[in-house]
Amino acid sequence: MKYQFYAFTASLQFIFFSSTTDKTLAEYVCPGKEFSPKCKSSTRSDSANKEYVLIRSAIYGQLYNSECPQMDDIEIDDVCTANVLPKLDLLCSGQETCQVNVPDESLDSSKPCTNMRLRMALGVDYECISAATCSFNGETQLLQVSSPGYILASLTHGFRYPCTFRLKTREGYNLHLRLIDLATDKFNYTRSKNCIRYAHVRDGSLEKEICGGSNRTSELWRSRWNTVDILIADQITPPSKQNSRFLIYYEPRRSCPEVKAPSGGWLKKLSTNLALGCNDSTEARWSLRCENSIWVGPKAEERACPETAGSKSELGGIPHGL
């Protein structure tokens, strides 16, 4: 069953909360009830089939809705709410199940209403997601990527060996990475100049640290080609920050088509550019830049290398096979 409920934001914008996709579930929790999502569970040996809760949105307070008999007398003018997504992330996101009572002390601390003696309800949009998790053997996990997905980890994953993932998609595609930080409430949105290191990305010769503890969602990286490594940090962490869960969302997107080195020449990959040249010439060099899945630069016929000895047939330079 899909629930529908209404709320006013601080800007008095009227918002309609409901299921946004086929995978998203909307739940309205009345006073005295419990929010208890349960995703598909499995044994550790079958961890590939596990599912985890991911909260998409959560509001708490006096909500206008007919699902709760206790709140039938609430008028639109009485609605007062607070965004409790960071708190629900900490309690539920990244777990197979959770239990949150309504009312709840941690939710009450958000103070959605001036009069906290009012009856409070909870409205949540969430979904159950599949995610790759760290293995116990220390080996690099190869993920063959054909569609968007997630990696689930924590600030202290607790394994003896490093946790590394290699993401590989097909030729002509690259990988876009995004961080979903599920522990921003634990860090109180501290925007420190110091990096709270969650992981780092290795893209060929390039590396980038993944820093968390501030924004819930941040764009991380667009790979140069179709393979990228993600190394989860293994570090000593204060107890108050331990088990801080986070997700790395990955998505394959079409890149520029594969280019081959010219006959009698060479090709070198440089970030999102290509450098090409001829073996017997220091002047015949070209550069291609990938923009919106199209190579910008000299066309194939404009970057041909001069024919070398032995490249022609003995019949007046007519190529073999004609």
Tokens, residue 308: 């070398």
216-220, Cβ contacts within 8 angstroms, sequence gap of 24 or more: 216/85, 216/86, 216/89, 216/180, 216/181, 216/182, 216/184, 217/178, 217/179, 217/180, 217/181, 218/178, 218/179, 218/181, 219/176, 219/177, 219/178, 220/177, 220/178, 220/179, 220/248
Per-residue pLDDT of 83-139, as tens digits, reads 999 999 999 999 999 999 988 888 888 888 877 667 788 999 999 999 999 876 778
Architecture of domain 141-254: Sandwich (2.60)
Contact 224, 205 (CB under 8 A): no
pLDDT value of residue 41:
61
CA 289 from centroid of its chain's CA atoms: 26
Domains 5-129 and 141-254 share a fold: yes
pLDDT value of residue 266:
92
Tokens, residue 203: 């893209």
Pick the CATH number of 5-129 from 1.10.510.10, 2.40.170.20, 1.10.287.110, 2.60.120.740: 2.60.120.740
What residue ranges do the domains of the chain occupy?
Answer: 5-129, 141-254, 265-303
Which residues touch 66 (CB under 8 Å, ≥6 apart)? 72
Per-residue pLDDT of 122-131, as tens digits, reads 999 999 999 9
* pLDDT over 90, % of the chain: 28
Q: Which residue matches tokens 């073999």?
A: 320
pLDDT band with cut points at 50, 70 and 90 for residue 156: low
pLDDT band with cut points at 50, 70 and 90 for residue 250: very high
